[in-house]
Amino acid sequence: MVFFPTGPTVRLENEHSPMSSTTPLEIGHHRHIHFQEGLELDCGVTLAPIDLAYCTSGTLSERGDNAILICHAFTGDQYVAETHPLTGKPGWWERMVGPGKPIDTNRFFVICSNVLGGCMGSTGPRSLRRNAQGDDEPWGTDFPPITIRDMVRAQYKLVKALGVERLFAVVGGSMGGMQVLEWTVTYPHMMLAAMPIATAPYHSAQNIAFNEVGRQAIIADPDWRAGRYWQADVVPARGLAVARMMAHITYLSEEALTRKFGRRTRRGPVSGPGPEGPVSLFSDIFEVESYLRYQGSSFVRRFDANSYLTITRAMDWFDIAADHDGELTAAFAGTPVRFCVVSFSSDWLFPTSAARALVRALNQAAANVSFVEIETDKGHDAFLLDEPDFDRTVRGFLCGVAEHVGLV
């Protein structure tokens, strides 16, 4: 393995470029570790070599016992607490991770990596490989299918390479929570504690259906070009934007959408011109439409369509009980991990009922588990937003485990 500690390259946007532009941001360079030996995947293919891009915060203790691995959600990346080098936006969990925050980097050494199959520096469909003609080109749709377990195996290699023999905790929400659960099953003795947040032990039929709609939107885009869109120097921007818009709706709740937008309009009724001029059938008349279109166009600039297909399929395949004849309890038999399972009352993507099923299985396996349902109307994305009860839960659980094991 080879370390690449180079800092990220920032692409400076023209001050006159519209925020709604769908021109992809430059990939840039990200700190990463190179594993020449690669990784054997669940599909039977050995993917070699692989790169894993990552960020760290805090200091690893002399005993190496204070490391927390944070697993990011579907469209997240390794920039959990740092300013994103491409978008210039704060880290996606900057409010949770940092000095004095619930995941306190004065106390803990925090690691977060871009998942295998991602598009922010880790090996994925956008990475170059040598083709049959001896030329370098992106993997594209030839990238082998990966699973959540493959992502976790890659993270295990990274953690070991960073000198961590045992993690203090693994924490993550949504798809990150899937990775947390996979860690506890695949490497149960590699951590003291686990915090799966707003997640489930398998992807439901409804969630698979939502993902398929997004994938079909991408594939139906004329610029998809059978997944080899780079050859024409285009991206399937319309399809990827629609996929993001549809997915983003599932991250919110009806209450949150109503509170934020209601039926407020940007333009007048169809019968006459509004404050921004005449309207048409295709105008973004309502504020919620404008919001979704912004979400779609900004997403296209930072995410790769083939990564979208690869990662959503990995989520669809996820089922912790699959290797245990469908018995979820058997997956956690004898686990030494201390669990804190968190759900949110208005999350309909990963509802509290799924969290309760997980907790029942953990209880039946005699695991050390606590469960918290946070009352909120912010939907699935509540774990990324300002929720004081959630902050107290994270801080309290981690501090409690630290006190139990004598971590100063």
SS3 content of the chain, % helix, strand, coil (to 5): 35, 20, 45
Relative to beta strand 67-71, strand 128-130 is: unpaired
Beta strands 191-197 and 338-344: pairing type? parallel
* 8 A C-beta contact, residue 145 and residue 310: yes
Three-state DSSP state, 142: helix
- Residues 51, 104, 347, 381: which is the catalytic one? 347
Which phi and psi angles does 196 have, rounded to 5°? Answer: -80, 125
User: From the candidates 174, 253, 307, 346, which is the catalytic residue?
Assistant: 174
Active-site hit among 65, 203, 380, 381: 380
Q: Which residues lie closer than 8 Å to 206 by C-beta, 6 or more apart?
A: none
Sign of the torsion formed by the C-alpha atoms of 54, 318, 244 and 389 = negative
CB 377 within 8 A of CB 259: yes
Q: Residue 197 and residue 340: Cα distance in Å, rounded?
A: 8
Check if 174 is active-site.
yes
Asked if 77 is an active-site residue, the reply is no
- Hey, what amino acid is at 25? L
Is 347 an annotated catalytic residue?
yes
Which of 192, 195, 225 shows the shortest CA–CA distance to 65?
A: 192
Pairwise CA distance, residues 86 & 121, whole Å: 12
Catalytic residue numbers read: 174, 347, 380
